[in-house]
Amino acid sequence: MSGARLKHYGWGREREGMTAEEQGFVLGRYRAKFARDAFETKVVSRLEDLALRAPRVAPPASLALSARAKATDLGFR
Protein backbone atom coordinates (compact mmCIF):
# COMPACT_ATOMS: atom_id res chain seq x y z
CA MET A 1 0.00 0.00 0.00
CA SER A 2 1.34 3.43 -0.87
CA GLY A 3 1.56 6.27 1.62
CA ALA A 4 -0.58 8.56 -0.54
CA ARG A 5 -3.71 9.93 1.13
CA LEU A 6 -7.15 9.31 -0.28
CA LYS A 7 -8.67 12.29 -2.06
CA HIS A 8 -11.20 14.28 -0.07
CA TYR A 9 -13.47 14.32 -3.14
CA GLY A 10 -14.16 11.81 -5.89
CA TRP A 11 -12.15 8.63 -5.74
CA GLY A 12 -8.54 7.55 -5.77
CA ARG A 13 -5.45 8.89 -4.08
CA GLU A 14 -3.89 12.33 -4.13
CA ARG A 15 -1.78 13.08 -7.23
CA GLU A 16 -3.62 10.36 -9.16
CA GLY A 17 -6.16 11.08 -11.84
CA MET A 18 -7.81 9.75 -14.94
CA THR A 19 -5.76 9.29 -18.07
CA ALA A 20 -6.59 11.48 -21.07
CA GLU A 21 -8.30 8.47 -22.64
CA GLU A 22 -10.43 7.81 -19.54
CA GLN A 23 -11.33 11.48 -19.24
CA GLY A 24 -12.32 11.62 -22.91
CA PHE A 25 -14.54 8.57 -22.50
CA VAL A 26 -16.30 9.89 -19.38
CA LEU A 27 -16.79 13.41 -20.75
CA GLY A 28 -18.04 11.95 -24.04
CA ARG A 29 -20.70 10.01 -22.15
CA TYR A 30 -21.67 13.13 -20.18
CA ARG A 31 -21.84 15.24 -23.35
CA ALA A 32 -24.17 12.68 -24.94
CA LYS A 33 -26.33 12.23 -21.83
CA PHE A 34 -26.76 15.95 -21.12
CA ALA A 35 -26.64 17.21 -24.75
CA ARG A 36 -23.74 19.57 -24.02
CA ASP A 37 -20.65 20.40 -26.03
CA ALA A 38 -18.57 21.34 -23.00
CA PHE A 39 -18.63 21.54 -19.22
CA GLU A 40 -17.31 24.21 -16.88
CA THR A 41 -14.18 23.07 -15.06
CA LYS A 42 -14.10 23.54 -11.30
CA VAL A 43 -10.86 23.65 -9.34
CA VAL A 44 -11.01 21.60 -6.16
CA SER A 45 -9.55 23.31 -3.09
CA ARG A 46 -6.59 21.68 -1.43
CA LEU A 47 -7.17 20.48 2.12
CA GLU A 48 -4.31 22.72 3.25
CA ASP A 49 -6.27 25.75 1.99
CA LEU A 50 -9.42 24.98 4.00
CA ALA A 51 -9.98 26.61 7.37
CA LEU A 52 -12.03 24.82 10.00
CA ARG A 53 -13.38 26.62 13.04
CA ALA A 54 -11.96 25.57 16.39
CA PRO A 55 -13.75 22.64 18.05
CA ARG A 56 -16.34 23.70 20.64
CA VAL A 57 -15.95 20.56 22.73
CA ALA A 58 -13.27 17.95 23.23
CA PRO A 59 -14.15 14.36 22.30
CA PRO A 60 -13.88 11.64 24.94
CA ALA A 61 -10.57 9.78 24.88
CA SER A 62 -12.22 6.72 23.33
CA LEU A 63 -13.15 8.78 20.23
CA ALA A 64 -10.07 11.00 20.05
CA LEU A 65 -8.52 9.15 17.09
CA SER A 66 -11.65 9.35 14.94
CA ALA A 67 -12.62 12.91 15.92
CA ARG A 68 -9.72 14.90 14.57
CA ALA A 69 -9.77 18.65 14.12
CA LYS A 70 -7.26 19.19 11.30
CA ALA A 71 -8.55 19.55 7.75
CA THR A 72 -5.85 17.22 6.43
CA ASP A 73 -7.20 14.48 8.70
CA LEU A 74 -10.58 14.70 6.99
CA GLY A 75 -9.09 13.40 3.75
CA PHE A 76 -7.70 10.34 5.48
CA ARG A 77 -11.09 8.58 5.89
* Residue 35 lies inside a defined structural domain of this protein: yes
- In contact, 39 and 30? CB cutoff 8 Å: yes
* Residue 64 lies inside a defined structural domain of this protein: yes
Instruction: Provide the mean pLDDT of the chain.
Output: 79
Torsion of Cα atoms, 29 then 30 then 35 then 37, to 10° = -100
Q: Place 50 in a pLDDT band, splitting at 50, 70 and 90.
A: confident
Q: Mean per-residue pLDDT for 50-54?
A: 81
Q: Mean per-residue pLDDT for 29-45?
A: 89
Residue 47 belongs to domain spanning? 20-74
* Residue 9 lies inside a defined structural domain of this protein: no
Cα separation of 49 and 70, whole Å? Answer: 11
* Residue 11 lies inside a defined structural domain of this protein: no
Cα separation of 8 and 18, whole Å? Answer: 16
* Residue 6 lies inside a defined structural domain of this protein: no
Q: Which residues contact 28 (CB under 8 A, 6 or more apart)?
A: none
pTM to 2 decimal places: 0.47
Question: Count of domains in the chain?
Answer: 1
* Residue 45 lies inside a defined structural domain of this protein: yes
Q: 13 forms bridges with which residues in the sheet?
A: 6
